[in-house]
Amino acid sequence: MRSGVYNYGECHVCGELMREKRINQNFWIKKKLLVIENVPAGVCPQCGEKVVNAKVGAKIARILENSTQLRSPRRMIVPVISL
């Protein structure tokens, strides 16, 4: 880790060097969508694969374990398209 930036190494899918970006991570829990915003992740510029480091993964796991205790949800309208 240099100057506070985690080294994600090479993409396990295509071998390209991963770059740190902030992403939104989506989870479906009991038919409800939970979006965790601003997640630091390694993102492959070649194939788009995304990974988080162990510390971030543990924090996400704690959030998911306590998801029923989160603040009131933000409501949004989402179009649903069926083929």
> Rounded to an integer, what distance in angstroms lies between the CA atom of residue 2 and that of residue 26?
28
SS3 32: strand
Domain ranges of the chain: 19-69
Element (H, E) at 57: helix 54-65
pLDDT for the residue numbered 4: 63
Q: 51: burial class by Cβ within 10 Å (0-12, 13-18, 19+)? A: middle
**Which tokens in the block code for residue 61?**
């796991």
pLDDT tens figures, 3-37: 567 999 999 999 999 999 999 999 998 888 889 99
pTM of the model: 0.77
CA proximity to 51, closest of 11, 4, 5? 11
Percent over 90 (pLDDT), the chain: 69
